[in-house]
Amino acid sequence: MTDPAPQATQSPPTPPAPHPHDPLTADEVTRSVAAVRADGRLPEGSLFATVEVAEPTRAEMADFRAGTPLERTIRIVALPGPGASVVEIEVRLSDGAVVGWTERDDVRPALLYDDAYRSILALKEHPDWQAAMVRRGITDFEQVQIDPWPTGSFDNPAEEGQRITRCLSYWRQDPSDNGYARPVEGVLATVDAARGEVLEVVDHGLVPLAPERGSYLPEHNGPLRTDLRALEITQPDGVSFTLEGNLLTWQHFTLRVSVTPLEGLVLHDVGWVDDDGTTRTILHRAAVSEMVVPYGDPDPMHNWKNAFDVGEWGLGRMLNSLTLGCDCLGEITYLDAVVASEHGHPHVVEHAVCIHEEDYGILWKHTDMNTGRAEVRRSRRLVVSFFATVGNYDYGFFWYFYLDGTIQLEAKLTGIMSTKGIPEGGTADHASVIAPGLAAPVHQHLFCTRLDVAVDGPVNEVLEVAFAGEERGPDNPLGNAIGRRVTRLATEQAARRDVDAASSRHWRIVNPGRTNGLGQPVAYKLVPSATPTLLAHPDSSVGRRAGFARHNLWVTPYRPDERRPAGDYPNQHTGGAGLPEWTAADRSLVDEEIVVWHTFGVTHNPRPEDWPVMPVEYCGFHLVAAGFFDRNPALDLAPPDHCH
Ligand SMILES: [Cu+2]
């Protein structure tokens, strides 16, 4: 007897119920843009800088959980013309009504692809730029790569009322060349990007093109190693997480995942589900909300370079489509992301967010010296990550969740450094020689993570903890005492703080209204890495514009419209917006719902080994349960079953 033919008895899976944190869909882009066009107020040819979900506030989410359905609203930043004006529009999806319309002058969104293309096309046709190329022996202009940059703000009259790019040129003898290997040093152009008009081409003087092509391609770097054997990661029983829509659950963790045009990956409603099914909240929302790459070389070709890769470019607009086996290894689950083109069309980035589990060595271990019995538990982490390519650099952002409740953000810095040509055999102040005739300026990468915290409830406060050796005295006769200083950061200005590794300074995010089984207020602690702050002069352009990077910690009372630490529109902004502006009011942080902002990063002193492509450099921070539980929450892990 043969087996009966399989029957199609399974009903199709029920789609998850709609949720306010669901990611933007293609249909929502199409419908909201159509509603804006139908409204008629935007002129023909207007561009759409960003299209995103207008996220509900904390109060609205509380209503939603209480059973009130939420309206879904889409927020659009449109550019009605070639100047420095935007329109912020809100469209209610249920009936397509335009419910918000705010015209704002003298602000610019992130640099548009359209503006970048216009800058390149205009410059290539400009006689001054062409003459500068010919002076360097470059006559085939197709061989020149032009990189338009946001210009910053330098009191240049050309910046007024316009969308400006500054353009750098690089020679690629062959299209497969690494453009950054041969900067066309000395030639700096300023372009009215929206109108495609070259405003200025400055030639700071000839520097010979660097001799090497700087290829990182395998065909130019052989013979390739052949002695690495296969390393397979398999999970024969499947993964231990579930993904339903964008609701991710793994071990005790629950969270939602979405993507915004500027921040890229956003985490919502991160919580810990107790054994009794109660969800204890940790983070209401978390994302890298701004970053800046200030270059530290006073050379006039490079002294204006300060890339705000969130607000001037948009990590979500630059998302990579990840590939299995290359970007991600093992049992991988992907989420696609929808972004809108500048012409208002939806575009699906496939495999934009990678979700998987990784073995992470030992979580805990002890060998009882009396009995000889060893107990060991493996650590494993859930990884939620994405990569964005912003011009020459590539950034990965990896959120890790661990079995003991720890949450980590790791930024991975790779790609190609911004370079400058130097005379062969020469040296460079404020820069490192990385190849013959080639240097890379010293620079920083400073990331600001907005942590909308809700540790075991909405009202939290921050305590700074630091340690110091105490003076000898009657209470400390041996001089061994380590004093623990705990300071409540009660106002915004008191909460502008920097790391201090020598005192193990860190910050406890406490819910003063909840205690653990030992009677202590429940808390997570923010453990910073050895991270710098902004080194540019406070009165410099970037010193004013990237105020968020001048301190590692900021705390503000929760305000739904305070989302961007350098302000909503950092492109060509003169500075002062965002965290410095808000915290000047020195608002109280007591009995408040609060937001913790953490700036971390690296000061990059370029190495020859960073050339021609940079091995990943890591930076980030940890959020560690610190009295959130009554004991090690991972005692219930089963011992590994294949010890031998
Ligand atoms: Cu760098």
Residue 14 has pLDDT above 80, yes or no: no
Residue 8 has pLDDT above 60, yes or no: no
Query: Are 267 and 44 spatial neighbours (Cβ–Cβ below 8 Å)?
Result: no
Ligand 1 centroid distance, CA of 38 (Å):
45
Q: What is the pLDDT of residue 644?
A: 73
Residue 3 has pLDDT above 90, yes or no: no
What residues have their beta carbon closer than 5 A to ion ligand 1? 604
Query: Are 596 and 453 spatial neighbours (Cβ–Cβ below 8 Å)?
Result: yes
Q: Is 309 a catalytic residue?
A: yes
Catalytic one of 22, 269, 309, 452: 309
CA of residue 419 relative to chain centroid, distance: 23
* pLDDT tens digits, 568-605: 999 999 999 999 999 999 999 999 999 999 999 999 99
What percentage of residues in the chain have a pLDDT greater than 70? 98
Ligand 1 centroid distance, CA of 99 (Å):
43
* pLDDT tens digits, 279-294: 999 999 999 999 999 9
Q: What is the pLDDT of residue 79?
A: 97
Residue 4 has pLDDT above 90, yes or no: no
Contacts with 452 (C-beta within 8 Å, 6 or more apart), sequence order: 58, 283, 284, 285, 286, 558, 595
Three-state secondary-structure class, residue 328: strand
User: Can you tell me the mean pLDDT for 491-498?
Assistant: 98
* pLDDT tens digits, 102-160: 999 999 999 999 999 999 999 999 999 999 999 999 999 999 999 999 999 999 888 89
* pLDDT tens digits, 403-462: 999 999 999 999 999 999 999 998 889 999 999 999 999 999 999 999 999 999 999 999
Peptide bond into 223 cis (omega under 30): yes
Contacts with 292 (C-beta within 8 Å, 6 or more apart), sequence order: 306, 307, 308, 309, 444, 445, 446, 534, 542, 545, 546, 549, 566
Catalytic one of 170, 180, 393, 558: 393
Q: Report which secondary-structure segment, H or E, holds 61.
A: helix 58-65
Ligand 1 centroid distance, CA of 611 (Å):
11
Ligand 1 centroid distance, CA of 125 (Å):
32
Rg (the chain; Cα; Å): 27
**What is the pTM for the complete model shown?**
0.96
Ligand 1 centroid distance, CA of 388 (Å):
15
Ligand 1 centroid distance, CA of 614 (Å):
9
